[in-house]
Structure 1
């Protein structure tokens, strides 16, 4: 007992001696850059610096290194006091935050860039120095005190035991013996133990494996981020701890990390060699009591360049810009060759100590002597071409082409082949490359659809007549209108830089005439010019020069697609389609236009917003007027019905119908309006309908056979007349040509505007409910009136009906 206590005191005294001996190392003020001494290191005595808690020390460093030594001593005693099975493992220690150095701040103030020392990103930001139970062990690992060994012996003797090597290097196996294993390599452990036990036993087999390894205590000193005593894995090397517990501090060197053993420097490690060359020069395995000394950083130079290579580099004597570029790994190909800026200190000028020097790239590499505190700025090479003319836009091959003396537009665009884009041939080839199974996959699999660029070919999209993946029948429209963009022959432009005024000038020309050799349009080009060819979609060309493709369907003799000349009208395209069929109903002729559909869609969105506000107001009013639970439930039900109605309206797709002024009894093409058609118009002539629909608040909704001479009220009579809750003053009729007649259009007081009106084939007669008595219908009718204003009245009526 007395010997144990005495040994403990001796161990504690030895640790204190080590700390006192190395105290001057921690007390030294870092020598750093001239003019960049950390203000926390000024005006302090050695004792103050030793006991204080500067920003670059852990929060628990205030207890001093002696506290750490005591903790380590207690940990060592636990091996003896508690037994090998309860051996204390190294505890996790947080790394302190790495503060910015004054040189980093200086570089930021001068360049606007926050640069970090090269190699910082490779260091661990969050240290957890714990012993990994399953960490791989090198075959050359030497057994040491504290290592755990799992021994299994079978045969003449039976042993299955886990033991820990004691401080004397001995391994005790119960009922077998004690054997000296310290220094034995891991690869030889089985052989060694077998030989030792064979001295006493025969006819047995043995297997020994390493378990938890012991930790070794080392000291980290000098310009370290976390100086002090640390416990690391017994497999640790000098290089491994530099990335963890022995990281260089703010003014620490990445290139001068020394391993001191017994007061002698046995290895010096350069982190740059490992990071850039992959070389572990002078790396050594650590032993208990080793000191890792982080030297003072050498000359530091900031490399200011675009990209991740920008950093602060530490230079050794005789190293220059070429060495920095090698270390940084920068791509030198893109560096500007005519200008390198070096900002440094001029010690001879105390008033303005900073100076800048401009050198060529080659001279900076070979002659510039970089000094501590320099900032080197490198520029990327200029993108300017000396002899290039750029062709872009609606052309076959947008690219830069070499300029030559006397080059003109016709030299750059010699023929029309230069204006046919490759997408045309791609789409043309897809016309005969159809496979139903693959096409279905191409439109249903989002990944395939994106990779195959289905939207460009437009050959396998969903149509009204088929399912997704079926080939479109309307390939003629795609072939003529969509596969090849129409060229704007009257306008192309040259962009030219005016170097005197430093502004871009636009020089327009007629492309057709230029390619024909017209001297006034076949302009001479200069190096640096950009020539842009436009399509009809880029800058809309006059309608008289547009290719107009019209789709004609229904009751004509030859339905199909027809290309019309400028100025041709609705009548002309019907003639091209072979004229009217016998059962054609001209009054119901339907003309849809894409531009009208777009405009209607915009108006629909505005109408929906107004309708939503109306519904919210109506619902709030109904809820406020409810005086019973039944009224409240009814109001909630009405709100649901109104919301569903609004959702149906939201799903409607405007068709872009143009209402035509055609007489109901029109029979010939000459009676069609002379309306000029545009590209994409669709003309549909229905057959003569033989029915009239009566909808709404009537006793018998239905479709009734058309009888010539019958009036609107005759059909209302067939439906039983207006119901009790009907608003007979608001009856309206939707005609086959898209127009609407209503009871409120009468010019005589108290006489319906529909009185005496003849019913026409295809009419839809609607009788609304009295909105004064039915608040739900009132709201829906008000919304329907909004949609009449954007040409969606019939759809709104159908939505109410649903």
Structure 2
């Protein structure tokens, strides 16, 4: 048997044949499923002595490797040559309108690949005509075994060992197997034959005219006009996409309108290329721009004098639903006139769509005005803002059929989440997390006395307000407050938080806690006072401590918190000022003294910043000092303070301790003793050497603060102040009076005023000292 193989010599011959083709550009197209390759030269059919088994090695891998190397060498140049260049019309449009628009269809070629690989594993059409360079894989079994890869030579034939030469030039792919079977059957009987195709031949085409990358291209013999255009990057900024021609043998073999292909997928004019074809891209016949509310705003090429607005809008995908067909503006260039540019306005009706377009036209399609001609709007403190259709005779009650429509989604959410959590945004006092703090907050209070209809007068483009009483709409539907609506009206409902109502019209829920007979949450009126609030709770118990009664108000808390933040900002500014002064004073020292002074000042700065940071974390409580006489025993002497929603009264039991904080040997809670004085507790706690006895102050159980400075007393006088159960005695530390930080530390020691003004208690002292 004869055994024919193509080894290293054949591979070397294949590489030699590929080398000349590297001067040509390689391309690959994934979009069309077709591939093209730079010429790989001719691989001479293998010649070998006759044997029963006819085989040869594969050369396609070597050929592909050579072609890949050639493509890599040209890839960078191809990508560089693909830079987008704007046409003069594009530049004109950008300069005069500020719009930078692409040419329609240019994005189709924006990502053209830089290489084309050989066709492999691609079905070959049955009508494909074989020619030099096409590769066939012939396998046979029976009286003779054949496994041979043959390439059609330049004479149009293949040579099979023991079989001789078989002419295949011009034979269609679907007939190749029968032709070869007939040749084999002349010498051998009973042979089963299979013929498939390997790598197909390459052909050379020329791309000329207004192309992005004009030149000579070696592509697959299966390539079509669109394939080659994609390989060349398509038309340039001035090239035509609507008159691309294939010239063959001195005549125009085909003319392709790329718009039909890109916009509609019509490839009927796309033909297969033959070796030596010339693709000619002529200059564009003119451009127009479609801007505004168009599905594909771009610059479009005119094909002939018959282009209309309708025909180009079809390529642009039509108009979006938001386009206003009643108004379109056409800007036109009239170079021969004194005024070279003009503008026209017309509707895009049947007549308007038939208007012809000229070179340089700019069609601007505007959007519709989002104005409802038959709607009224309900908004504000309602279940859900709606835009409802207007009906003749429509009134406010038709928009709001019942009071339930005024229950907001936030109210419903609070009701639904009541079993899990509550709305703590409104109450931030000492008991903000308790369930009692959430009582009465399920429904946003409605302003029943005032709602308004906004009405637009289109004749003079003005707005008028029509106020009405919302409560009367439900109590007296036939009354004047049930306003007759007009199209375009907007009805707004307010809550009591949107527009504050008088005190006597506000809802009032208060809490009474501690030493009262019936602690709880009570609904009161704005005319009620602390006494009526206490009476509704059944009065005080025998253990009630009148002097320590605490009254909290949410509005006071918000005001206190805002002022507390202002004080923090003031202290921070003062700290910065002292830092600047301290840094300037350090320059008066030199050497090691300067370093020591700098280190001391830095320690002071760090300590001050830490104290300031703790101060910023203090939270106002909203406590209002009742200024009661410590010896008062009757609750009837409580201030006649009118109630507000969210007020909280806490009546404590009489405590048995007095707190001592600050520069003492032992910070503790000491037992209260009748008729004991401040000096007695200072002796019990023991003063430290840095205790500032001149600035001792007492935080009383009723929320007030007593200091020597506030009363104009000396140490002996405040030392003789009688201490009540629950009072806190505070002894500040003494600071270096010669330090430049004296002003800052002195101001930060004025805690007596801060605690009194912001409702802070003993917990704040602990926070600042930690």
**TM-score, length-scaled by structure 2:** 0.75
Alignment of 1:426-465 (within 5 A): 426-431=413-418, 458=423
> Which residue in 2 is equivalent to 1:304?
291
Structure 2 residue corresponding to 1:747, chosen from 693, 696, 712: 712
1:130 corresponds to: 115
Deviation at 1:568, TM superposition (A): 1.6
What pairs with 1:627-642 in structure 2 (closer than 5 Å)?
627=593, 636-642=602-608
| Match of residue 725, structure 1, among 682, 690, 694 | 690
Match of 1:103 among 52, 66, 89: 89
Give the alignment's Cα RMSD to 1 decimal: 5.2
- Does the aligned pair in 1 maintain the 2:439–2:521 contact within 8 Å? no
The separation in 2 between residues aligned to 1:647 and 1:679, in whole angstroms, is 33
Partner of 1:39: none
Task: Render the CA deviation track for 1:617-654: whole Å, top value 9, x for unaligned.
Answer: 55663893772766665555554444433333333333
Q: For the residues of structure 2 that align with 1:112 and 1:498, how far apart are their CA atoms?
A: 36
Distance 1:190 1:650, change over 3 A: farther
2:467 is aligned to 508
- Does structure 2 conserve the Cα–Cα contact (< 8 Å) formed by 1:461 and 1:472? no
Contact 2:294/2:320, CA 8 A, preserved across alignment = no
Partners of 1:258 and 1:293 within 8 A in 2: yes
Higher relative contact order (CA 8 A, sep 6+): 2
Give, in whole Å, the separation in 2 of the partners of 1:663 and 1:792.
20
Aligned 1:51-200 pairs, distance under 5 A = 86=66, 88-90=69-71, 91-92=74-75, 93=78, 94-108=80-94, 111-124=97-110, 129-131=114-116, 138-140=122-124
Q: Distance in 2 between matches of 1:780 and 1:183?
A: 106
Pair 588,95 (structure 1): closer, same or farther in 2 beyond 3 Å = farther
CA contact (8 A) 2:246 2:280 kept: yes
Deviation of residue 224 (structure 1)? 2.0
Structure 1 residue 700 corresponds to structure 2 residue 684: no
Q: Aligned pair 1:797/2:759, yes or no?
A: no
Please say which structure displays the higher CA radius of gyration.
2
Residue in structure 2 matched with residue 387 of structure 1 by the alignment: 374
- Unaligned residue ranges in structure 1 (runs of 5+): 16-71, 154-158, 440-456
The answer on whether the counterparts of 2:550 and 2:624 sit within 8 Å (CA) in structure 1 is yes
1:654 aligns with 2:620: yes
Flag the 1:772–1:129 CA change in 2: closer, same or farther, 3 A: same
Equivalent in the alignment of 1:690: 656
Query: Whole-Å Cα distance in 2 between the matches of residues 204 and 650 of structure 1?
Result: 96
Q: Which residue of 1 aligns with 2:311?
A: 323
Give the deviation of 1:512 after TM superposition: 1.9
Question: Aligned to 1:713, what secondary structure does the other structure show?
Answer: helix
C-alpha distance in structure 1 between counterparts of 2:334 and 2:646, whole Å: 75
Query: What is the CA-CA distance between 1:723 and the residue it aligns to?
Result: 1.5
1:712 Cα deviation after fit = 0.6
In structure 2, do the counterparts of structure 1 residues 801 and 336 end up closer, same or farther at CA, with 3 Å as the change threshold? Answer: closer
SS at 2:241's partner residue? strand
**SS of alignment partner, residue 627 of structure 1:** helix
Partner of 2:243: 256
CA shift digits 1:568-626 (9 cap, x unpaired): 22222222223223322232233333333333333333333333344455566389377
> Structure 1 residue 131: deviation in Å?
4.8
From 591, 595, 599, the equivalent of 2:551 is 591
* Aligned pair partner of 2:489 in 522, 526, 529: 529
1:714 alignment partner in structure 2 = 680
Flag the 1:472–1:316 CA change in 2: closer, same or farther, 3 A.
farther
Contact kept in structure 2, 1:477 and 1:549, CA below 8 Å? no
CA contact (8 A) 1:220 1:246 kept: no
Do structure 1's residue 547 and structure 2's residue 547 form an aligned pair? no
Structure 2 gap segments, 5+ residues each: 1-12, 25-36, 45-61, 141-145
Preserved CA contact (<8 Å) 1:735 1:763? yes
Distance 2:184 2:596 in 1: 96
Cα displacement (A) at 1:393: 1.9
Which secondary structure state, in structure 2, belongs to the residue aligned with residue 599 of structure 1?
helix
Residues 729 and 183 (structure 1 numbering): CA distance in 2 closer, same or farther, change over 3 Å? farther
Bigger mean CA offset, 373-382 vs 185-194: 185-194
- Answer yes or no: is 1:671 the counterpart of 2:605: no
SS in 2 for 1:480: coil
Structure 1 residues 420 and 771, CA gap change in structure 2 (3 angstroms)? same
Question: Does the 8 Å contact 1:652/1:795 carry over to 2?
Answer: no
